[in-house]
Structure 1
Amino acid sequence: MPFPDGFLQELKLRSDITEIASSYVNLKRHGRNMVGLCPFHGEKTPSFNIYTESGSFYCFGCGAGGDVITFIMKIENLDYVEAVKFLAQRAGMEMPENTYDDSLSKLRMRIYEANREAARFFHATLLSQRGQS
């Protein structure tokens, strides 16, 4: 179920990744970023970084990275929709009611149809050229 872009942007704005991750990981400020031991693999030196400006995280030890939704998916072992629901509930936001954004699928269908028409045209042209020779 794709969520409207506006809803996801608002959810990410209300879900501060530093605040959320700090409830799972002991974080320390390192310049503009936050650093701690990665919750996704065992390590002795901190390689888990939170980039507060972009609202993302990355672990240089195991390669895990993403945004706040990805973090919740990994740490809570949830799928995408469940992670969005988890964060929406935490942020006090209501989930959108069956709002299916099908603009991308409509565009995809228009592109497929244009490609089909082009294929028909070139096929017919090739057949007519073959008949003339």
Structure 2
Amino acid sequence: MINTVKNKWKERQRTKQDFEEIKAQISVEAVADYLMQKQGKNYIYPGERTASIKIYPESNSFYDFGRATGGDCVRLWSHIKGCDSWTALNEVRKTFGLNTPDKQHSRELIAQQQEARKRRQEAKKQKQERWIRQVDELKTEVDLLSAIISSGHCEPLSWLWCVCQNRLTTVEGKLDLLCGI
């Protein structure tokens, strides 16, 4: 029983790896150019007159607005040809001469993509932490300035009161900008 589960898991990992290798080697745009006619920046679904499929090269994906579906190069092939993903994978391999993929090179590409994704996520997390820190600092300053103004220790329209009031207005403006208000 345990060996059966392990074998199924290994087979699933190999299958997933096959799809990742193809996605790393072939772009959605290349598949779209092969299968469809281009109209401007978009593509025409076979048998139609107007373009409804948009290609996104930066994410190596597509979206068919007429059928509300999208995905990667294998998904585009299966969408246009009307076949399952495994058949689409094998047809993409055959059509683009990828029958004998360089597994080491593909693994390196996949590792590089995963590392880049991890760096982007870390940068996003750091940016969010900086934002939170800035908002907290500004809120603390608003509380301090409000306390000084309302404490009664400085007379309204005195020099100190005016300085605190001006700074409070500036800090609240920065908070509004940071919070998108």
TM-score bin (small chain): 0.5 to 0.7
Counterpart secondary structure, 2:63: strand
Counterpart secondary structure, 1:2: helix
Q: Please identify which structure carries the higher helix content.
A: 2
Q: Choose between structure 1 and 2 for higher RCO, CA contacts under 8 A separated by at least 6 residues.
A: 1
Q: Deviations over 1:67-126 (max 9, x none)?
A: 11111112222222111111223342338xxxxxxxxxxxxxxxxxxxxxxxxxxxxxxx
Q: Deviations over 1:23-78 (max 9, x none)?
A: 2222256xxxx412233x7353x231011111111122221211111111122222
1:1-133 matches, cutoff 5 A: 2=12, 4=14, 5-27=16-38, 34-39=41-46, 42-44=48-50, 46-89=51-94, 90-94=96-100
Counterpart secondary structure, 1:50: strand
Over 4 Å off, 4+ runs:
none
Counterpart secondary structure, 1:47: strand
Change (3 A) 1:52 1:59: same
Distance 1:3 1:11 in 2: 14
Identity of aligned residues (%): 22
Distance 2:63 2:77 in 1: 13
Q: How many residues align?
A: 89
Using the size of structure 1 for normalisation, the TM-score is 0.54
- Alpha carbon RMSD of aligned pairs, Å? 2.5
